[in-house]
Structure 1
Amino acid sequence: MRIDEKAIKKYDNLLEYLLLIIIISFFSRAFVIHISGFFGIWMLNNLWASLHATILLLIFTKFKWIRLNQFANHAWVLIALCFISVLWSDDVAVTLKRSILLLSSSFFGLYLGYRYRVIEMLNFLMYLIFLLSLIGLLIYPILPEYVVMPAGEHAGIFRGIFNHKNFLGRINILGIICALTLFDARKLNSFNTMLFVAFFIFCVLLSKSAGSLLILIAVLALYVVLSRFSLRSIDRRLIQFILIIVALLVVYFFVDLLLLLGKSPTLTGRTVLWGLVLLEISHRPLLGHGFSAFWSDETRLLSQMSWDAPHAHNGYLDIALDLGVVGVMIYVIGIVLSVRKAWMHFIIKKTSTYLFVLLFFGFTIITNTLENQIFKENDIMWLLYIFTLVQLGKDSSKKTATLNNNV
């Protein structure tokens, strides 16, 4: 019996795309809370375990030639420090478990970086984000209780199929970055780009997240600035559209922005939290409390606050809590070098790849002033962070190979 290699490859690619949809959806926190609610936490834990087992299988079977590229070195040093922090962790079991999950998540980012080009990945992400957000909108008229925030301070606010309204806002800002980069790469025309951007902005507004709004305005402004350095022919209508949207958002939500920056003036309680976190960091400043150990008891600061904080609402402070000043310095030096490299290549080459890298790093840096998304297992931000570092490293590897061939 003759084996049809083309058919096998076709089904293999289809299976791979299905797997990508499932993993990235989970890493975006889509359907997670619903599965937990319907089937229980045991089912959710089993699904996460299955996904990570699949990731490791992919790494060890499909990509024997994958290597830890030079430009992701600081990320691997941070991960190694997470494992070593077991030695002084406040909660050894949590630190070890989450370090393993972080390593597995990083491996998947590595896999994506070597398997796909930037434009391929962004095209896939944009349509997936559009689909996930659209599903939530379609469910709302039929079963609104499944797509809004439950009882509490944010009760009734639309969150779609995500765990929280902030995840809805964050993922749609990422969708905007994808759409704008694809437009710059001439993979989307100006009309379709405006449609996608308008849809994603609509979803951000539905989340009623003032933090997401502020990040959205910053990302759009950063794109307008970066586009002026591009040698590509930029459609002025799109730039004008973005500027008008930014202006309208600033004017219409001016009071909300003031509340975000002032809420009497504690950033919705964040400044009080940050003060307490800084005090805890001062107790163990050098190496921290161990990766993910401090917040393993979410009520740790509850007696000193009026609300239950699951994290520091600042990614940099959370790294300091976990890995001390050493961890923060490793991360900051790494991202500064990465941004510098991306900027130099963007100025010289004017390519869409480096436009995305700069937009994503800008998005990451801004987001992590209000939330904890820098250094987290099972999270799309860390996944794309590794993916982006791999793309930078691949460029360096190509340059090195060219130089060696010329010798």
Structure 2
Amino acid sequence: MQEILFDPLLLPVILLTSLVYLVFLFNLLTKNKSASTTAEKIISSSVIFILPGVTVFPFDKIHPSALAGHDKTAISAMAQLGLYFVLAFMVSSRIPSFIKSFPNTLKFVLLRNPFLLFLILLTPLSAAWSHTPFLSLKASLVLLGLSLVATYMGSQYSWDELWSRLRLSSGMWMVLSTVFAIAVPSIGRHGKGWGGVVGHPTNLGPIAAMSAVLWGVQLASQKKPSWQTFGITGLSLLVVVMTDSAGALVIFALLASTAIAFRVLKKTSLRWKLVMGFLLIVLPIVASAVVALNLEFLLGLLGKDLTFTGRAEFWPQLINELQKRYLLGYGYHSFWQPWLGAANPAAHIVNANEYRPPHAHNGFLDLALSLGIVGLSFFVISLVANTILAVKHFATYRNIESVLPMIMLAFLIFKNMTETGTWGLRLDAFLYILLSVRLCTDIRRRVYG
């Protein structure tokens, strides 16, 4: 197939034909506002859809992390970048506005959350001290691309548009994961639990919990809830249970408690909204630390065994490795490299069952291994700034959806206590940057409690 596509006689014909179709499509979308809006909604939702790591073909081949792979060929990279260009071309109606407003967006982020920008800038700089400089630089460039897309969506889309796209994407995760778990168990199941289209219950469980709360908040906000809202909320809860993941149940319980607390606080004074809203973010952070320190006991209550995956054994090993390069880390995406054999910095990380983890099973620890205590500190300070902005958003707006920024921040914190992704090339970092930009650029109106 590759030989046919790149045949010197056929290649010009293929390129010319593609160009004709692009011009035709662009002309259609620019003249038909409805078609343009629909195309942009589908494409932006699809971008979010693939980011958790959808393992089903062809989504696994076009995931951004594929560009950062050590075995990515130049031809494959060109094809993937070409697809991205086509998708950007199809949603180009807002790009002029984005370019025009970009300096102001950077100014707002620099003023309200400067440590996010420091963290983004530190990532490509880490190639200078990385164990594998080229791979770190390549992964950093992919992250910068993801950051640009997240900035575009965060600055150009309203809150309603963002929540609509997140709900649509989460609905796609739930429906397709259920279909694959039932119809194609070889793909959709992992042992007793459902892994769906993201490959493993520990990946599917947290996003199912997030989906249940996103759709649940939508359900509570509708005067006459639609059957779609009822259906996806119920399906999300079913998937949470069917993943057989204790972590998913804990995350759902905590996020649902946050949403319920908001309903109780809705009619209180502005002062209490500020105080209690801030606690709704601080308490999950404190609870996360408590859970981390007592994880084995808590999972035992839920019938789970922490030593099965060896976290209790390899977390201390990882902390020992971090102490060797604690200030700036090993470089972005440079610690976990099994293809290097004995030269892999993580070669000695193994538990008593000979299990060699592919990552730290803790997003904050993985961030520290990549960018050291400096990078982790940048993220924590940025998180505090986002918490303050989310509390202000919650206290200012009257609608029920105003709690969602805090819920999403809490989701990212809890998920990364036992899984990774805080600053990876997946959904977590994308959502964090998107929320950060939207919170920093939000034009708030005064609403008194």
TM range (shorter): 0.7 to 0.9
Match status 1:292 vs 2:333 = yes
SS state at 1:89 partner: coil
* Paired AA for residue 215 in structure 1: I
Q: Which amino acid aligns with 1:356?
A: L
Q: Which runs of 5+ in 2 are unaligned?
A: 1-26, 67-71, 269-295
State the Cα distance separating 1:143 from its structure 2 match. Answer: 3.1
Letter in 2 for 1:15: A
Match status 1:49 vs 2:112:
no
Match of 1:10 among 20, 29, 34: 34
The range that moved more, 44-53 or 211-220, is 44-53
Alignment partners' CA distance in 1, 2:198 and 2:208: 11
Give how far 1:94 is off: 1.5
Deviation string, structure 1 residues 236-268 (Cα, Å, up to 9, x no partner): xxxxxxxxxxxxxxxxxxx99533889666474
Kindly provide the CA deviation profile for residues 288-307 of structure 1, in whole angstroms up to 9, marking residues without a partner as x.
11111111337624564221
Secondary structure of 1:63 counterpart: helix
Partner Cα distance (1:314, 1:49) in 2: 30
Q: Which amino acid aligns with 1:163?
A: G
Show the counterpart of 2:215: 179
Aligned to 1:383: 430
RCO higher in 1 or 2 (8 Å CA, sep ≥ 6)?
Answer: 1
Shift of 1:25: 1.9
Output the amino acid matched with 1:203.
V
Which residue matches 1:236? none
Residues 210, 260 of structure 1: 8 Å contact kept: no
The reply on whether 1:167 has 2:203 as its aligned counterpart is yes
Q: CA deviation at 1:276?
A: 0.7
Question: 2:342 matched to 1:307?
Answer: no
Could you tell me how far apart the structure 1 residues matched to 2:297 and 2:87 are?
41
Q: 1:315 to 1:6 in 2, by over 3 A?
A: closer
Deviation per CA, 1:136-181: give whole Å up to 9, x if none: 32344443323223xxxxx363222223222221222221232233
> Structure 2 CA distance, aligned partners of 1:5 and 1:209?
44
C-alpha separation in 1, matches of 2:397 and 2:165: 24
State the Cα deviation string for residues 331-357 of structure 1 (Å, max 9, x = none).
111111211232244234444453001
Q: Does 1:111 align with 2:152?
A: yes
Q: State the one-letter code of the partner of 1:164.
A: H
Task: Say whether residues 1:80 and 2:128 are aligned partners.
Answer: no
Task: Select which of 189, 196, 199 maps to 2:232.
Answer: 196
Residue 441 of structure 2: aligned partner: 394
Deviations 1:342-375 (A, max 9, x none): 2244234444453001111111111111111211
The answer to whether the 8 A contact 1:123-1:182 is kept is no
Distance 2:336 2:365 in 1: 12
Task: List gaps (5 residues or longer) in structure 1.
Answer: 150-154, 233-254, 401-407
The two structures have a TM-score, normalised by structure 2, of: 0.72
User: Matched residues, percent identical?
Assistant: 24
Asked if 1:222 corresponds to 2:258, the answer is yes
* TM-score, normalising length: structure 1: 0.78
Counterpart CA distance in 2 for 1:45 and 1:199 is 37
Give the whole-Å Cα distance in 1 for the aligned partners of 2:255 and 2:187. Answer: 30
**Is 2:316 aligned against 1:275?**
yes
Report the equivalent of 1:96: 137
Q: Matches of 1:96 and 1:290 in 2, distance apart?
A: 9
Cα distance, 1:120 vs structure 2:
2.1
**Deviation of 1:286 (Å):** 0.8
Code of the aligned partner of 1:321:
L
Structure 2 residue aligned with 1:371? 419
Equivalent of 1:205 in 228, 231, 241: 241
Q: Check 1:391–1:262 CA distance in 2 against 1; reply closer, same or farther (3 A cut).
A: same
Structure 1 328/56 Cα, relative in aligned 2: closer, same or farther at 3 Å? farther
Q: CA deviation at 1:15?
A: 2.5
Which of 11, 17, 20 is 2:44 aligned to? 20
Cα pair 1:210 1:256 within 8 Å, conserved: no
In angstroms, what is the RMSD of aligned CA positions? 3.4
Q: Which amino acid in structure 1 is aligned with residue 429 of structure 2?
A: W
Q: Is the 8 A contact 2:350 2:356 kept in 1?
A: no
Counterpart amino acid of residue 279 in structure 1: N
Residue identity in the other structure for 2:263: S
What is the CA deviation profile of residues 283-327 of structure 1, one whole-angstrom value per residue up to 9, with x for unaligned ones?
111111111111133762456422121111111111111111111
Q: What CA distance in whole angstroms lies between the structure 2 residues aligned with 1:187 and 1:287?
A: 52
Equivalent AA in structure 2 for residue 63 of structure 1? F
- Which whole-Å CA distance do the structure 2 matches of 1:391 and 1:385 have between them? 10
User: 1:101–1:54: structure 2 CA closer, same or farther, 3 Å change rule?
Assistant: farther
Aligned residues: 367
